[in-house]
């Protein structure tokens, strides 16, 4: 399986049979390495409702017919706007032709502003465990460090993890390195840093702190890892 980092928290998973995009934020993303129209996913996995995660999900879903897999409130809300949607909720596996998806806890929030700037809440934020053609990918979404990450690492052998390290809105490098200890993935890719000024977390610091716990792959937008 090839996993390409498209900038910020956007990840594109490709096998010979299936393409999945996670948190497609390309339009308005200063670090995006692709355009929304370049992607032809079969499925779109969304961790939470913030604009830098749902981003282009709706137009991509409408153009390609891809199914949006997300938590109940977010998936049904996007489904009501014309997307094909598969609502799940935290803790339960759901099977798909490519494998299965389970949403985990994430300590964060999930909303979009209404026309007056007031938040419309979109359920609980999540991380996503994606089993695809025999490989296990964990995308933590936006989150703080939490000790129940140990349970995730104990349940599944993670081949590839994407962890936010940006500080301010999510974990910084130090907490993310602790998360690596809990999750013990084979390969970890730091994400959600450097896109906007508050996201100051340094991937080199993360790599130094996580050294020996997992193979750290610092990907520039557009770069891939094979697992
Ligand atoms: Ni967020
Ligand atoms: Mn975010």
pLDDT-based confidence at residue 49 (cuts at 50, 70, 90): very high
Closest to 123 (Cα-Cα) out of 149, 95, 88, 94 = 88
The pLDDT-based confidence of 176 (bands split at 50, 70, 90) is very high
For 178-221, what is each residue's pLDDT tens digit?
999 999 999 999 999 999 999 999 999 999 999 999 999 999 99
Q: Are 148 and 115 in contact (CB under 8 A)?
A: no
Task: Please name the residues in contact with 16: beta carbons below 8 A apart, sequence gap of 6 or more.
Answer: none
pTM of the model: 0.98
CA of 141 to the centre of ligand 2 (A): 8
Q: Ligand 2 centre and the CA of 91: distance in Å?
A: 22
pLDDT, position 91: 98
SS (H, E, C) the chain: CEEEEEECCEEEEECCCCEEEECCCCCCCCCCCCCHHHCCCCEEECCCCCHHHHCCHHHHHHHHCCEEEEEHHHHHHHHCCCCEEEEECECCCEEECCEEEEEEECCCCCEEECCCCCEEECCCCEEEEEEECCEEEEECCCCCCCCCHHHHHHHCCCCEEEEECCCCCCCCHHHHHHHHHHHCCCEEEEECCCCCCCCCCCHHHHHHHHCCCCEECCCCCCCEEEC
Q: What would the mean pLDDT of 129-157 be, rounded to a whole number?
A: 98
pLDDT digits (tens, 9 = 90+) for 55-84: 999 999 999 999 999 999 999 999 999 999
Question: What's the pLDDT score for residue 171?
Answer: 98
Residue with tokens 């409408």: 62
CA of 107 to the centre of ligand 2 (A): 12
- Beta pairing class for 119-121 and 111-113: antiparallel
Q: Per DSSP, what are the bridge partners of residue 96?
A: 99
Q: How far is the CA of 127 from the centre of ligand 2 (A)?
A: 12
- Ligand 2 centroid distance, CA of 64 (Å): 24
Q: How many A from CA of 17 to the centre of ligand 1?
A: 30
Under 8 Å between Cβ of 86 and 94 = yes
- CA nearest neighbour of 8 among 106, 177, 139: 139
What is the overall mean pLDDT for the chain?
98
Architecture of domain 2-226: 4-Layer Sandwich (3.60)
């Amino acid at each position: 399986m090839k996993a390409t980092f498209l900038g910020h928290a956007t990840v594109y998973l490709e096998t010979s049979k299936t393409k999945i995009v996670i948190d497609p934020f390309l339009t308005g993303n200063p670090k995006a390495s692709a355009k929304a129209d370049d992607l032809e996913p079969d499925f779109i996995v969304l961790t939470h409702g913030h604009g830098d995660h749902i981003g282009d999900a709706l137009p991509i879903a409408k153009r390609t017919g891809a199914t949006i897999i997300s938590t109940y409130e977010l998936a049904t809300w996007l489904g009501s706007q014309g997307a094909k949607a598969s609502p799940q909720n935290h803790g339960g596996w759901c099977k798909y032709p490519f494998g299965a998806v389970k949403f985990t806890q994430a300590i964060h929030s999930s909303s979009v502003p209404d026309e007056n700037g007031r938040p419309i809440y979109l359920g609980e934020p999540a991380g996503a465990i994606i089993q695809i053609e025999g490989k296990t990918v964990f995308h933590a979404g936006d989150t703080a460090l939490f000790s129940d990450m140990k349970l995730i690492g104990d349940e599944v052998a993670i081949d590839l993890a994407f962890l936010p390290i940006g500080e301010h809105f999510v974990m910084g490098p130090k907490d993310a390195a602790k998360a690596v200890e809990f999750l013990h993935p084979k390969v970890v890719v730091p994400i959600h840093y450097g896109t906007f000024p508050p996201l100051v977390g340094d991937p080199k610091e993360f790599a130094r702190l996580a050294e020996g716990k997992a193979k750290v792959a610092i990907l520039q937008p557009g770069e891939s890892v094979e697992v």
